[in-house]
């Protein structure tokens, strides 16, 4: 392989990587637009899940933003639970995904009483009512267990991934250079 071919191959590889990244990011952006929410996914990341036996650790809930009147008793919603602070509870570190057990309409807004399905971890309904402006959306379906990869990745797995990809790249480059006779014994 000549220097020109080596450069051309490197440029083609970079372009292919850029196209793949663009498709992934573009697909995510299209999904955000289609589902009308900034957060189209929520991974169940606590064990045991407050939504067992409906949803388990590692399940992904796909979320669609809907008007408040389309959320009813029995629907699972994802919401900001920072208002729990006012009831003496710690603020959850991530949006909460719980089932609606009651709905009220007051002063032009919908308010939802929620409760996790797991009665061992959630023996009582959630504190207070969640207003419609705190809701990210309604869970329209779940994807079982695939979120475990996302949890692993964001809890340090990205370091392992980067190290392995770096080692593979270095081995490949050395292998190609050795085939070209760059390394002389």
The pLDDT-based confidence of 182 (bands split at 50, 70, 90) is: low
Same domain, yes or no, for 45 and 32? no
Structural domain contains residue 160? yes
Query: pTM for the whole thing?
Result: 0.75
Range of the domain at 14: 3-36+156-179
State whether 89 and 137 are in the same domain.
yes
- Same domain, residue pair 78 and 18: no
Residue 51 CB neighbours (<10 A)? 25
Main-chain dihedrals φ then ψ at residue 131, nearest 5 degrees: -80, 155
The per-residue pLDDT for 184 is 57
Domain check: are 70 and 139 in the same one?
A: yes
Q: What is the pLDDT of residue 75?
A: 98
Let me know whether 71 and 104 are in one domain. Answer: yes
Shared domain check, 131 and 87: yes
* pLDDT reported for residue 185: 58
* Two tokens, residue 121: 């971890």
Same domain, 7 and 27: yes
In a domain, 66, yes or no: yes
% helix / strand / coil in the chain, to the nearest 5? 40, 20, 35
Give all strands of the β-sheet with 130-131 in edge-to-edge order.
Answer: 41-43, 60-64, 135-143, 76-79, 96-106, 109-115, 130-131
Q: To the nearest whole number, what is the mean pLDDT of the chain?
A: 88
CATH number at residue 137: 2.10.109.10
Same domain, 50 and 138: yes
Over residues 32-59, mean pLDDT: 90
Residue 128 belongs to some domain of the structure: yes
Q: Are residues 52 and 139 in the same domain?
A: yes
Check residue 36 and give its pLDDT.
92
In a domain, 77, yes or no: yes
pLDDT in tens, 97-143: 999 999 999 999 999 999 999 999 999 999 999 999 999 999 999 99
**Has residue 185 been placed in a domain?**
no
pLDDT at res. 74? 97
Read off the pLDDT band of 157 (50, 70, 90): confident
**64 and 128 inside one domain:** yes
pLDDT at 27 over 90: no
Structural domain count, the chain: 2
């Amino acid at each position: 392989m000549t220097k020109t071919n080596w450069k051309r191959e490197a440029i083609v590889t970079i372009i292919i990587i850029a196209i793949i990244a663009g498709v992934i990011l573009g697909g995510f952006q299209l999904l955000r637009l289609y589902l009308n929410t900034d957060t189209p996914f929520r991974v169940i990341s606590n064990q045991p899940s407050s939504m067992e036996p409906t949803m388990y650790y590692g399940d992904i809930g796909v979320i669609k933003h809907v008007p408040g009147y389309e959320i009813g008793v029995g629907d699972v919603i994802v919401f900001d639970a920072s208002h729990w602070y006012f009831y003496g509870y710690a603020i959850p570190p991530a949006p909460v995904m719980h089932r609606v057990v009651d709905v009220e309409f007051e002063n032009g807004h919908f308010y939802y009483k929620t409760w996790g399905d797991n009665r061992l971890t959630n023996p009582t309904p959630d504190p207070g009512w969640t207003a419609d402006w705190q809701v990210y959306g309604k869970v329209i379906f779940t994807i079982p267990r695939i979120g475990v990869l996302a949890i692993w990745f964001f809890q340090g797995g990205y370091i392992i991934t980067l190290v392995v990809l770096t080692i593979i790249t270095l081995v490949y480059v050395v292998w190609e250079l050795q085939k070209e006779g760059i390394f002389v014994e």
